[in-house]
Amino acid sequence: MLTNYYTLRYVASTLHSILTGTTITQLYSQEKDELVISFSGETVFNLTVSCRADANICYLRRSAARARKNTVDVLSACKGASVNGVTILPADRTVEIALSDQRILVLQFFGVKANVFLVDVAGSIVDSFRTPRKFRGEPYQAPQAEGIYDFTALASISHSHGSTSLATTLKILYPNLGATLLREVLFRTGLDLSVSAASIDNAISETLALNFQQVLQEIAAPLPRIYMTEDEEPAIFSLISLHHADQYEERRFEDIHEAIDVFLSQRRRSLDLAAKRSDIISRLTRQVNKARHAVTATEYELQEGNRADDYERYGALLLANTQHIQRGTTAVELQGPTGPQLIPLEPDLSLIQNAQRYFGRAKRARLARTKTAGRKNALHQRIAAGEYLISLVENVNTHTELKSLMTTHTERLAEFGLGTKIEARAELPFRIFTVEGGFEVWAGKNSANNDLLTMKHAKPNDIWFHARGSSGSHVVLKVSTGKGDPSRRAKEQAAAIAAYYRRMRNAKTVPVAMTERTHVRKPKGAEPGTVILEREKVVFVEPGLPGGTMHPND
């Protein structure tokens, strides 16, 4: 009932008593399809005019501060005009604000065509909020709708509309009543929305008429209310008590404008929650599907790993039959424990070399099988973790629950690139990488950025790296970001990052200084990025980034 004619009528009546005699001081927009009009009198009033299709309404807001950015002035010719009164056209969703110079500010709430027009004394549109070029200079004609309720027509419903539903028929007969009030009338009459018009007899018609009249009497003395779900989401806005909404919690308001503001604010929060929940589920689902595809790939790798025994048997058979095989042969069939074995050979290799080649393949296959089996297990764990998080998010019903979930499962969400930990990391002005053990490595981008990283963001026990012999990035391995102590491999990867981000990158092996941050100090008055090291250790590494890919900020 938020966008109902009767809600607008009540709003217009309150605006007439509040705004008459005030002066328009500004008109601006800072939200899509939303206009704010400021009125100055004994106090300042801010009228929000929503032209969004899902919220065709206007209301005074408790607070409506104008933003410093992304705001634009509109309908500027209205500034300085005084208000003579506010009215709503009979049975039509058009509110008119009469100005003291005989111009009219017309607020039309026609769904997707909602707009605000400034109309001059001659009845021409001077300006409009939406698509002003389209309407400027066009004549303004007030709709001529009538709000007459002819309840005698109910008696002939079964004859003239027998093939359609009763709800559809009543919408045609009484278009201003709206879906919420229509449902209430039917509920009080004991009728379902799906009942057909053909089933209505004279007795039911009389009861319908009585309930229509009762609802209209209640609307004449409105008391705004919001019906809330158990999850604190706004379900229905109404001006009267709704018998069909007794499953919801009813909250009453003395002020219609406060009620509308609360309803829209709560609904925006609900929509925002739904959008956040959908985004998290979508991103988790993509990660889970990616892991499933990776599991499929590991199956092929495991099949290759399972051939280790075959490769070892080939090598043994070749060594046992040296006298029967000549160099240059591409394949040979030998008798094995389970029968004849066709063994492919490299013709350029000797028999011994072919045998050694198979023994080497067997060793590599076993190592790969062990590694792949571990990776497959990790992937299954990742899939299970992702599906668990998805189930948790799907059951979130409030912002409080979502915040609690994000806090409780910070580490798990971070593994999927989600959550406050990832958001905070994204705001850091450094290049960030992950090395073996899950440890983060931060690299500076320039001299000033190096100072910021080393002197402000590195902890005393973090491991600090810098390529020797040339200028380049300060690199810090954050020891608190992984489990246990960083491995030798993790340190080598961090050193390789420092070697990569040096002025001269062509060397195949680069000496890199490594020490704890506590042994790094900046001399007083030194240039940005200049530091002095103590207890350093030098490691020689090949320049490179984890995974061989460049950081997106490069």
Q: How far apart are CA 543 and CA 507, in angstroms?
A: 8
| Domain 151-252 class, CATH top level | mainly alpha
pLDDT at 327: 76
Q: State pLDDT tens for residues 393-422.
A: 999 887 888 888 988 988 888 888 787 766
The alpha carbon of 215 is separated from its chain's Cα centroid by a whole number of angstroms, namely 41
pLDDT at 551: 42
pLDDT at 388: 94
**Which phi and psi (to 5°) does residue 448 adopt?**
-65, -40
Q: How far apart are CA 173 and CA 150, in angstroms?
A: 8
Q: State pLDDT tens for residues 267-305.
A: 888 888 888 899 999 999 998 998 898 888 787 767 766
pLDDT at 548: 41
The alpha carbon of 296 is separated from its chain's Cα centroid by a whole number of angstroms, namely 30
Architecture of domain 5-135: Roll (2.30)
The order of strands in the sheet holding 83-88 is 83-88, 94-99, 104-108, 115-119, 125-128
Angle (nearest 5°) at CA 46 between 37 and 118: 20
Asked if residue 439 lies in contact with residue 487, where contact means CB atoms within 8 angstroms, the answer is no
| pLDDT under 50: residue ranges of the chain | 548-554
pLDDT at 8: 96
Q: How far apart are CA 451 and CA 445, in angstroms?
A: 10
pLDDT at 552: 41
Asked if residue 51 lies in contact with residue 64, where contact means CB atoms within 8 angstroms, the answer is no
Q: How far apart are CA 61 and CA 34, in angstroms?
A: 13
Q: How far apart are CA 99 and CA 127, in angstroms?
A: 15
The tokens 């042969």 sit on which residue? 329
